[in-house]
Structure 1
Amino acid sequence: MSKPTVDPTSNAKSGPAVPVNFLRPIIQADLDSGKHTQIVTRFPPEPNGYLHIGHAKSICVNFGLAQEFGGVTHLRFDDTNPAKEDQEYIDAIESDVKWLGFEWSGEVRYASQYFDQLHDWAIELIKAGKAYVDDLTPEQAKEYRGSLTEPGKNSPFRDRSVEENLDWFARMRAGEFPDGARVLRAKIDMASPNMNLRDPIMYRIRHAHHHQTGDKWCIYPNYDFTHGQSDAIEGITHSICTLEFESHRPLYEWFLQNLPVPANPRQYEFSRLNLNYTITSKRKLKQLVDEKHVNGWDDPRMSTLSGFRRRGYTPASIRNFCDMIGTNRSDGVVDFGMLEFSIRQDLDANAPRAMCVLRPLKVVITNYPQDQVENLELPRHPQKEELGVRKLPFAREIYIDRDDFMEEPPKGYKRLEPNGEVRLYDRLFRSPNPEKAEDSASFLDNINPDSLQVLTGCRAEPSLGDAQPEDRFQFEREGYFVADIKDSKPGQPVFNRTVTLRDSWGQ
């Protein structure tokens, strides 16, 4: 793949206009200067939940930039907290990345593969007098840490000798102490205005079975101690993450500068995707699942990629949406309507048309022969002849939507009058900002009680009986629908509404 020509001052490539991405000129400059000969990025999720729509942006940024500049991307699980991690999440994350249309370089990687090296580096910091074992309780450690306006104070255990720290750390490793009894901390600066540099925890005791390493370890490295060194081991050139990690960058760099790492990755931060009417907190998403407010992580009302997939969103629509919103450093809230616009645009161009009456009302055409059936041929798509035609039977008995009939019509009513199974999914939350409420009760109070309606007895044209899971259609006058990937059976598809034909929320 040839590398694009970029003007770093304008962030514009020669040729067709491309979405704004402030990282493009940075990467181009690094290649032009010879700082790097190949771009290596990574997508490093923690396997403690399913991926959500916010992760889609990170996936598109990391994989997309690597593809654009002829580089590679690693998929690495930063699996430092076995108590919250599960193989189910690992499998789902791998599936979602592939579904979006991306392939990682080499085998799937795990931070736990580097636990031996991280342990050795921790010992090096102890020997250099830059790490110590601390016996403060969590409550005491919080008190000693200080606040945003007041500096912290040194732990009484901070000045232990190197020999003492090596001994205590070895005993932690050997499993002599219960969870939470001691931690290993980096010795940096308890008076730093950056709270992340106030002697951060490197290791904590946790007697837990790990999904990759089994029972080999009873101490586990903290995320901040693991992340940067894992990037260095893998030769990551551009460590791209969201803005909430900006204040962690000095710590990321401190560890790299004080350890004999094989590379020195540079961290860059971009604004995370904040989508209104949507929850992306893993804790709250898990609460919705655990308390059965939804039917699992892949419920079509969830903001997870698995949920969007079941709802009928296409990989292309999500990738195009992430391109449309651009990549910058300005936090803001994106309107859900932009995502719906992207899927409508995709399905309008590609989804076959079909007839389905959701709330049927039988109509008898009394002057039509009782036993006669005509098979009408209609195009499967108005602009795509290559999709062929479908046959629609017309007979004495037909079905119309109940809304097309009224016994006492108002003036100007243009539909029928005397003498003259589907699932419907809507937005899960009523509030544009459901995550604003930290209180669980308030957050749950925002749930839209009409987010799921199940309709039975719907009448559809015969061709829909052959629909396969994930086949998408435009039900004329109704919206875009998908045959559910889990609930559909051979000859008995169950359809989920992906999106209405037009935005009705903004009215």
Structure 2
Amino acid sequence: MSETSKPGNFITQIIDKDNESGKHNGVVMTRFPPEPNGYLHIGHAKSICLNFGIAQRYNGQCNLRFDDTNPEKESVEYIESIKRDVEWLGFEWKDEPKFASDYFQALYDFAVQLIEMGKAYVCELNGEQMREYRGTLKEPGKNSPYRDRSVAENLALFTDMKNGKYKDGEVVLRAKIDMASPNMNLRDPIIYRVRHVHHHQTGDQWCVYPMYDFTHCLSDAIENITHSICTLEFQDHRPLYDWVLDTLGTVHPQQIEFARLNLNYTVTSKRKLKQLVDEKHVDGWDDPRMPTISGLRRRGYTALAIRNFCERIGVTRSDGVVDVSMLEHAIREDLDANANRAMAVLNPIKVTLTNYPEDKEEIFTVNNHPKNEDAGQRKVPFSKTLYIDAADFAEEPPRKWKRLTLEGAVRLRGGYVITCDEAIKNEAGEVVELLCRYDENTLGVNPEGYKPKGVIHWVSAQHAVDATVNLYDRLFNNDAPDANYEDKTFLDFINEESLTVLTNAKVEPSLLASEKGQGFQFEREGYFCRDLEKDGMVFNRTVTLRDSWAKIEAKGK
């Protein structure tokens, strides 16, 4: 479905009215402005799809612009990861990515202009004093004792700030607006602060850096953005956005706020995600349990599934929580339609076919996908000794058991019907081998009166490929790990069973030809992908075949 044919939302309705009135001469310019202080997460994916999608819908342009005004927390690693994620999701930006730091001189000049207009001043209050003077939601703030400095004095002091004559935090530049405003963001906000730190783009050229609220609106204006789309937490900042642009008389983009994506069982605060990484609760930003785009990609999520998910949850003005099962449904739906099938035995138990010739070997031809003929076929070898999953055998089966048991018969997927005659155990009483018979007349057919109850997957022991399988699950076992608890933090809700590593798995040999990142449905086990980073046969579980958490939650109520 093209962007123009997709259903609209309240933002597209605004743009449609603007275009009808000729407000921007039919031009639509948006931007995606991430701060490079961490990896992007699923919430950013919604913003990416929205901003780039709107630009596509109206044949406009979306700029990728890095809000790099806080070099202490930023890095080139984060910049490269963001570029990679946006491209992987299927979007392109025109020309080179833009940086707020590209505009540092222009932003400085705008600050000087505010000082010359008597609309900004250098303030020497420390942090504690600043909070005291700011007031509360119920009480107005008080004017700083430095508020009425002359224009000449402020210009000289701001030049000294730029020239490195002050230590970090010693002085700031504040906009002169209204200390009695009911909107706290208009109570003489800081627009520049001193930071003696190396910048990843500008080096040591600057030791004063603009604040986000000052930088963002002016960067939008410099780039001739028409619609500046932000999440709801910036709604209270919009009056400041408008004040800066109106006061300076620049181009005035329209800021529009929408509800951010909140997922249950998920934390999307970059600060907290960084804490998970730094404290080694996970194995990096791209750990497949992380809600980062790189983590989802490594786990086996597809760009199409994420885009479909973002489209389905829609764009609204009201905050809410989306059930993470909707995201899991999106990837199941995509992989069910597009992922090839393969057989993998995760917890192998040996099966010996006692009546199968020792030196015989067969090759079965099976479809790669049950519904898609274009997916082709593959060759699966068969021999006297097989592996099946230990969970597919029971000496004392429960009611309605449809797998293998003593004296019971099952069909091997794509192969023969076998009957179990004996279970061999070790000294601990564990079943280590099953002695079975195969029926040579059952390949692809069910003879009259001979209908096994179930079908199980298998691999030939002689041809099996050793594999490591990572069974990933949700990182948190609480549906609101990020809520404000009196005696707990989000770390208390980490799911100790979020990763189970199986080192003795056996997979069919066709998977040797798979590519890193390629997804499969392992028959009857779930959806998996070959790990993007590790060499060899390492597979990550993307998602189970069905929503097992729904059963867990229902049982717990």
Match of 1:11 in 2: none
Match of 1:501 in 2: 545
Q: Establish whether residue 482 from structure 1 lines up as the match of residue 470 from structure 2.
A: no
Letter in 2 for 1:481: F
Letter in 2 for 1:485: L
Q: Establish whether residue 43 from structure 1 lines up as the match of residue 32 from structure 2.
A: yes
Match of 1:7 in 2: none
CA–CA distance in 1 between the matches of 2:246 and 2:399? 78
Letter in 2 for 1:259: L
Q: Establish whether residue 377 from structure 1 lines up as the match of residue 424 from structure 2.
A: no
Match of 1:55 in 2: 44
What's the CA shift string for 1:215-253, capped at 9, x where partnerless? 011110001110000000000000001000000000000
Within a 5 Å distance, the mapping from 1:429-448 to structure 2 comes to 429-437=476-484, 442-448=489-495
Q: Establish whether residue 120 from structure 1 lines up as the match of residue 109 from structure 2.
A: yes
Indicate conservation of the 8 Å contact 2:482/2:489, yes or no: no
SS in structure 2 opposite 1:228? helix
CA–CA distance in 1 between the matches of 2:272 and 2:45? 18
Which of 191, 197, 202 matches 1:208? 197
Which of 88, 100, 109 matches 1:111? 100
Within a 5 Å distance, the mapping from 1:264-279 to structure 2 comes to 264-279=252-267
Q: Establish whether residue 465 from structure 1 lines up as the match of residue 454 from structure 2.
A: no
Which of 253, 257, 269 matches 2:246? 257
Q: Establish whether residue 314 from structure 1 lines up as the match of residue 302 from structure 2.
A: yes
Within a 5 Å distance, the mapping from 1:6-405 to structure 2 comes to 18-19=6-7, 21-36=9-24, 37-261=26-250, 263-405=251-393
Q: CA deviation at 1:126?
A: 0.7
The structure number with the bigger radius of gyration is 2
Residues 1:248 and 1:468: Cα distance change in structure 2 (over 3 Å): same
Indicate conservation of the 8 Å contact 2:300/2:519, yes or no: yes
SS in structure 2 opposite 1:501? coil
Gaps in structure 1 of 5+ consecutive residues: 5-15
Q: CA deviation at 1:38?
A: 1.4
Q: CA deviation at 1:19?
A: 4.2
Indicate conservation of the 8 Å contact 2:3/2:56, yes or no: no
Residues 1:495 and 1:242: Cα distance change in structure 2 (over 3 Å): same
Indicate conservation of the 8 Å contact 1:467/1:493, yes or no: no
Q: CA deviation at 1:407?
A: 2.4
Letter in 2 for 1:467: S
**TM-score, scaled relative to structure 1:** 0.95
Q: CA deviation at 1:157?
A: 0.7
Q: CA deviation at 1:465?
A: 1.4
Q: CA deviation at 1:461?
A: 1.1
Q: CA deviation at 1:412?
A: 3.8
What's the CA shift string for 1:47-93, capped at 9, x where partnerless? 10000000000000000011011101000001100100000000000
CA–CA distance in 1 between the matches of 2:332 and 2:401? 29
Q: CA deviation at 1:467?
A: 1.0
CA–CA distance in 1 between the matches of 2:34 and 2:399? 59
Q: CA deviation at 1:441?
A: 5.7
Match of 2:395 in 1: 407
Gaps in structure 2 of 5+ consecutive residues: 409-467, 552-557
CA–CA distance in 2 between the matches of 1:254 and 1:438? 37
Q: CA deviation at 1:29?
A: 1.5
Match of 1:13 in 2: none
CA–CA distance in 2 between the matches of 1:284 and 1:361? 42
Residues 1:23 and 1:125: Cα distance change in structure 2 (over 3 Å): same
What's the CA shift string for 1:302-358, capped at 9, x where partnerless? 010000000000000000000000011011000011001111111111000111111
Q: Establish whether residue 417 from structure 1 lines up as the match of residue 461 from structure 2.
A: no
CA–CA distance in 2 between the matches of 1:126 and 1:50? 37
CA–CA distance in 2 between the matches of 1:80 and 1:318? 29
Indicate conservation of the 8 Å contact 1:101/1:315, yes or no: yes
What's the CA shift string for 1:384-410, capped at 9, x where partnerless? 212210111121111111111122333
CA–CA distance in 2 between the matches of 1:411 and 1:305? 43
Residues 1:3 and 1:59: Cα distance change in structure 2 (over 3 Å): closer
Q: CA deviation at 1:442?
A: 1.9
Indicate conservation of the 8 Å contact 1:478/1:501, yes or no: yes
SS in structure 2 opposite 1:331? coil
SS in structure 2 opposite 1:203? strand
Q: CA deviation at 1:411?
A: 4.1
SS in structure 2 opposite 1:506? helix
Letter in 2 for 1:457: N
Q: Report the identity percentage.
A: 63
Letter in 2 for 1:183: V
CA–CA distance in 2 between the matches of 1:345 and 1:410? 31
Residues 1:438 and 1:250: Cα distance change in structure 2 (over 3 Å): farther
CA–CA distance in 2 between the matches of 1:375 and 1:86? 53
CA–CA distance in 1 between the matches of 2:328 and 2:249? 49
Residues 1:439 and 1:53: Cα distance change in structure 2 (over 3 Å): farther
CA–CA distance in 2 between the matches of 1:2 and 1:338? 22
Residues 1:2 and 1:347: Cα distance change in structure 2 (over 3 Å): closer
SS in structure 2 opposite 1:434? coil
Q: CA deviation at 1:271?
A: 0.2
CA–CA distance in 2 between the matches of 1:120 and 1:440? 48
Larger CA deviation: 275-284 vs 438-447: 438-447
What's the CA shift string for 1:441-465, capped at 9, x where partnerless? 6211100000011101111111011
SS in structure 1 opposite 2:550? coil
